[in-house]
Structure 1
Amino acid sequence: MPILTVLLGVAADDALATAVADELLDITVDTLHKRRDLTAVALQFVPPGQWFIGGQAGAPTAFVEIRISAGSNRPEEIAAFVAAGHRALDARLGLHAVSYVQVQEVPAAHWGWGGRTQAARAAAAC
C-alpha cells in the first residue's frame, strides 16, 4: 500500500499528470513488486518560477517520494526504483540534475490503510 508524493516543477498539464502517475505506478510494480491496486499517487505541479535550485528558477525538476513498509524491499530493489523513476522523468521532462527520487521506509506499526496498520495486517495473516 505505498503512496507516492510527486512534485513536478513544470507547467500544470492533466495529460502529463496521468502519464507520469501511470509510469511511476508501473515502476513501483516492476521494481518494488507492490500491488498496483493498493498504490496511490498524489501529484502536484509547482510553477517553474517557484522552484529554485541554487537560487535560480525555471528548470524542469521533480521530487518523487514513495513510502513503503520498512524491510519490505531489498536495497537493490530500492536502488532500482530510484534509478528507474529518475530515468523515466528525465526522459519525459528533461530534468535538471538536481531532481530527487526518495524512498521512505516506515515501520509497519506506524502506518496503514483502511484503519488498520500494516503490522496488524501482517499479524492477522499469520
Structure 2
Amino acid sequence: MPGIQLTVSGDGDTGRSEHFAAQLSALTCSVLDKKLANTMVMVRYVPHAHWFIGGQSLAALGQNSFRLEVTLTEETNTKDQKASYHRQAFELLSSLIGNVHPHSNVHIVDCAATSYGYGGLTQEYRYQHGKTQHARIGSESAR
C-alpha cells in the first residue's frame, strides 16, 4: 500500500499530474512489487521562486527539482529493491521534468505495520487476518 507524494517545481496542470501519477504508479508496482489498486499518488507544485537549494531559488539557478516520498510498510521490500527504485525513479523523473538539480531526491519512508494502514485498518491487522484466513483455508482443505 504505497503512498506516493511527488513535489515538483513549476506550474502544474491536470494532464501533467496524471502523467506523473501513471508513470510513478507503474514503476512503484513493478520495482517494489505493490498492487496498483492500493497505490495512492498526490502531486504538488511549488513555484521556482519558492524552492531553494543551497540558499538560492530554482528561479535564480535556472533549474527544476523534485522530491519524491514513498511510504511503505517496513520489512516488505529489500535493500536491493529500494536501491533499484531510487535509481529508476530518479532517472524517470529527471527525464520527465528535465534540467533537474542534482539535489532532487527520492525518499522511501518505512513505517511500522502497527502505525500504517488505510480504510481504518493497520497493515499489521491485515497481515494477522491474512495469516488466520490462510490457516483456516489450509485446515479446511486438509479435512
Give TM-score, length-normalised by structure 1.
0.96
Give the superposition deviation at 1:42: 0.9
Q: Residue deviations 1:47-94, cap 9 Å, x none?
A: 111101112212210000000000000101011111111101101112
What RMSD over aligned residues (CA atoms) do the two structures have, in Å?
0.8
Structure 1 counterpart of 2:121: 116
* Residue 106 in structure 1 maps to residue 111 in structure 2: yes
Structure 2 counterpart of 1:2: 2
Alignment of 1:16-35 (within 5 A): 16-35=16-35
Query: Larger relative contact order (C-alpha < 8 A, sep ≥ 6)?
Result: 1
Give TM-score, length-normalised by structure 2.
0.85
Q: Residue deviations 1:78-124, cap 9 Å, x none?
A: 11111111101101112111101010000000111111100000000
Higher gyration radius (CA): 2
Unaligned runs of 5+ in 1: none
Structure 2 counterpart of 1:11: 11
Please say if residues 12 and 47 of structure 1, whose CA atoms lie closer than 8 Å, have aligned partners that are also in contact: no
* Residue 72 in structure 1 maps to residue 59 in structure 2: no
Unaligned runs of 5+ in 2: 132-143
Task: Give, as a single letter, the amino acid of the residue that structure 2 aligns with 1:25.
Answer: S
Identity %: 26
Task: Give, as a single letter, the amino acid of the residue that structure 1 aligns with 2:25.
Answer: L
| Number of aligned positions between the proteins | 126
Residue 83 (structure 1) aligned to one of 69, 83, 87: 87
Moved over 6 A (4+): none
